[in-house]
């Protein structure tokens, strides 16, 4: 009887959630306020009406009960079914132009070692006049990163133009200007999000930001769900939002079709990415969460695809605590927004006990030593990245001792 009950509970946990019409009405009302605000909130600035719409989001959508249950499976307990997965085992990153750096190589190599994807793609371009791709490095650091990326098996996919819905105008065209180099982090974020959305629609697979680090396998999501987003339960504005640093989906998933451009359906125009152009947090994080609340049957949101808390927030209050390390151990992906360029994040990751040294890097080294054996050049890349983490004070030297024989 107990076995039958456990089987029924496991099956119930996998059933799609039924959309709640009342939640849908609330989402539509709040989304309409964003449309009415006519946001052009680029470069980190949001007009007054867009701020008001964000407050309405917080007041009406954040308090709604989340419908997604945490699955019983983990990276360690999941047994692959005989049937093929829904989400292909391919991984994507976006790197518009310029030399790669060691942090991009770190994200790619960790995924290559831990997840063992069938293919890894770095999406570049379109290149402005005078710009070069990471495959044409201009600096010693760029050449070192390129060697590691090639050892991991990464392949460049160069785009001649930014994707746009139905051949229409790219939503950030007025920010770019003809042939203008992109310099703002806000603009980069929007362009990267458009690229990842179109890529995940066309090809499916796993998308990771350059500061998102996969340290445990994610196969249980690939078999269970058509579309997966990370869940950020609370950010600086106390909103519940989606974490856009890690996406997974089958090709042409319904959720991402609706989020891309509404799929020609009026009921989804206000929650599509390309209908209004507000600040980055609004376009990517709030609207995707709102659409997920409206259609929880089409997507799974998962907190273990972790938007890593900034210092002073959530489990990160009080430094690197046991609670923060436990949260890290339970995660499969850590999206460490601001890694390398945000001073608070850098300080956090250099604190002791070391987040990389205690949790992330041991997982990578165990995966690197597992069967089937990895190519020697990839093992050398792992050693180099571990040494770099040590030299940059992100973990103690002992944390990379097991890799020193990989030469």
Structural domains of the chain in order of their starting residue, each with its CATH number: 19-71+87-305 (3.90.550)
Q: What angle do CA 309, 312, 316 make, to 5 degrees?
A: 45
Q: For residue 104, with 0-12 CB atoms within 10 Å meaning exposed, 13-18 middle and 19 or more buried, which class applies? A: buried
Q: What angle do CA 237, 240, 246 make, to 5 degrees?
A: 110
**pLDDT tens by residue, 224-268:** 999 999 988 655 446 788 988 999 999 999 999 999 988 889 999
Strand partners, 401: none
Question: What pLDDT, on the 0 to 100 scale, is given for residue 391?
Answer: 98
**pTM for the full model?**
0.92
Please state whether 46 falls in left (phi above 0), alpha (psi between -120 and 50) or beta: beta
Question: What pLDDT, on the 0 to 100 scale, is given for residue 11?
Answer: 40
Q: Residue 269 half-sphere exposure, CB side, CA atoms within 13 Å? A: 8
Q: Are 57 and 1 in contact (CB under 8 A)?
A: no
Q: End-to-end distance of the chain based on CA atoms, in angstroms?
A: 56
- Going residue by residue through the chain (407 aa), what tens digit of pLDDT does each one get? 444 434 433 444 455 689 999 999 999 999 888 878 765 544 444 567 777 888 898 899 989 999 988 777 888 899 999 999 999 999 999 999 999 999 999 999 999 999 999 999 999 988 988 999 999 999 999 999 999 999 999 999 999 988 876 656 555 555 555 445 555 566 667 778 888 999 999 999 999 999 999 999 999 999 999 999 998 865 544 678 898 899 999 999 999 999 998 888 999 988 888 765 566 677 788 889 999 999 999 999 999 999 898 888 778 888 899 999 999 999 999 999 889 888 899 999 999 999 999 999 999 999 999 999 999 999 999 999 999 999 999 999 999 999 999 97
Q: For residue 290, with 0-12 CB atoms within 10 Å meaning exposed, 13-18 middle and 19 or more buried, which class applies? A: buried
Q: Tell how far CA 316 is from the center of its chain.
A: 20
**pLDDT tens by residue, 303-361:** 999 989 888 877 888 889 999 999 999 999 999 988 988 889 999 999 999 999 999 99
- The residue with tokens 């990842």 is 196
């Amino acid at each position: 009887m107990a076995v039958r009950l456990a089987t029924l509970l496991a099956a119930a946990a996998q059933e799609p959630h039924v959309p709640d019409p009342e939640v849908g009405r609330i989402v539509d009302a709040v989304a309409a306020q964003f449309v009415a605000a006519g946001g052009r909130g680029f470069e980190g600035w949001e007009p007054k009406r867009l701020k008001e719409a964000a407050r309405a989001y917080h007041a009406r959508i954040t308090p709604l009960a989340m419908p997604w249950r945490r699955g019983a499976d983990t990276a360690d307990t999941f047994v692959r079914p005989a049937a093929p997965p829904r989400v292909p085992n391919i991984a994507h990153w976006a790197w518009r132009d310029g030399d790669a750096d060691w942090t991009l190589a770190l994200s790619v190599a960790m995924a290559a070692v831990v997840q063992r994807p069938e293919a890894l793609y770095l999406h570049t371009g379109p290149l402005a006049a005078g710009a070069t791709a990471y495959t044409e490095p201009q600096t010693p650091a760029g050449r070192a990163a390129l060697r590691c990326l090639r050892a991991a098996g990464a392949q460049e996919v160069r785009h001649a133009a930014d994707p746009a819905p139905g051949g229409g105008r790219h939503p950030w065209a007025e920010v770019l200007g003809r042939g203008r180099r992109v310099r703002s982090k806000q603009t980069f974020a929007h362009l990267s999000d458009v690229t990842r959305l179109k890529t995940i629609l066309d090809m499916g697979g796993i998308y990771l930001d350059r500061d998102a680090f996969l340290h445990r396998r994610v196969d249980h999501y690939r078999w269970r769900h058509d579309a997966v987003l990370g869940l950020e339960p609370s950010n600086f504005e106390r909103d519940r939002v989606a974490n856009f640093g890690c996406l997974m989906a089958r090709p042409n998933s319904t959720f991402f079709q609706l989020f891309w451009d509404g799929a020609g359906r009026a009921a989804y125009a206000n929650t599509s990415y390309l209908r209004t152009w507000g600040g980055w947090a609004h376009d990517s994080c709030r609207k995707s969460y709102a659409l997920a609340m409206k259609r929880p049957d089409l997507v799974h949101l998962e907190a273990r695809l972790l938007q890593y808390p900034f210092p002073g927030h959530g489990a990160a209050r009080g430094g690197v605590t046991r609670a923060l390390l436990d949260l890290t151990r339970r995660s499969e992906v850590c999206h460490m927004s601001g890694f390398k360029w945000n001073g608070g994040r850098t300080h956090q990751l250099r604190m002791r006990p070391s987040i990389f040294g205690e949790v992330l890097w041991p997982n990578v080294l165990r995966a690197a030593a597992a069967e089937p054996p990895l190519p020697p050049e990839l093992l050398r890349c792992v050693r180099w990245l571990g040494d770099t983490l040590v030299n940059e004070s992100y973990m103690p030297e002992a944390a990379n001792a097991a890799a020193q024989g990989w030469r």
